[in-house]
Amino acid sequence: MTEISMTVNGKTVSGNVQGNTLLSAFLREDLRLTGTHIGCDTSQCGACVVHVNGEAVKSCTMFALEAAGTEVGTIEGQANGDGSLNVIQQAFQDHHGLQCGFCTPGMVMSAASLLKDNPKPTESEVREYLEGNICRCTGYHNIVKAIMAASGQDVSAIAAE
Ligand code: FES
Ligand code: FES
């Protein structure tokens, strides 16, 4: 076991991990941050997306050891300081961008990363960016609509699904 520490959602945390402990497992099992979901554990579904030093990362593809010393952001850290939903989360609620909600944490984290780099993405850019995020409820239409609304664009011309 190796002791590691990192910053998660602005707080310094530490723990003891094996060399093969995935970041996703460290977050969920050691830190009890279970908002990061595990859909596949094989880098396909995107349910486990977190931010590492500001970049979207599938946390099942990274060892916890590799994240030592980094700044990690999870869905638990996305709400506003007063606990209200942030603009992306609110847009998902307003535009029914979720059904069962399993993919939602990863979708929100990916959306945040997209909007940081591309504040006004086109619909096709959103769809392309979400290529690595699978929604098993297939609610993509409203997810895309929510992300475009979160970017401040008029989505009234996009039909409801
Ligand atoms: S659990 Fe990481 S991509 Fe599916
Ligand atoms: S809302 Fe169910 S998996 Fe996406």
- Identify the pLDDT of residue 160: 62
Q: CATH fold of 87-150, please?
A: DNA polymerase; domain 1 (1.10.150)
Tokens of 37: 């979901």
CB of 92 within 6 A of ligand 2: the answer is no
More confidently predicted of 161 and 152: 152
Domain range annotation of the chain: 2-77, 87-150
The answer, yes or no, to whether any atom of ligand 1 lies below 6 A from the CB of 50, is no
Please name the residue whose Cα sits nearest to atom 3 of ligand 1: 43
Residue type, 108: V
Single pTM value for the model = 0.96
- Same fold across 2-77 and 87-150: no
Model pLDDT, residue 161: 60
CA angle 105, 62, 15 (to 5 degrees): 90
Cα distance between residue 88 and residue 65, in whole Å: 30
Ligand having the closest approach to the CA of 39: 1
pLDDT tens readout for residues 124-144 = 999 999 999 999 999 899 999
Q: What CATH topology corresponds to 2-77?
A: Ubiquitin-like (UB roll) (3.10.20)
Flag whether pLDDT at 83 surpasses 70: yes
Read off the pLDDT of residues 32-56 as tens digits, 9 standing for 90 and up.
999 999 999 999 999 999 999 999 9
Asked whether 101 lines ligand 2 (CB < 6 A), one says yes
Tell me what the mean pLDDT of segment 93-110 comes to: 97
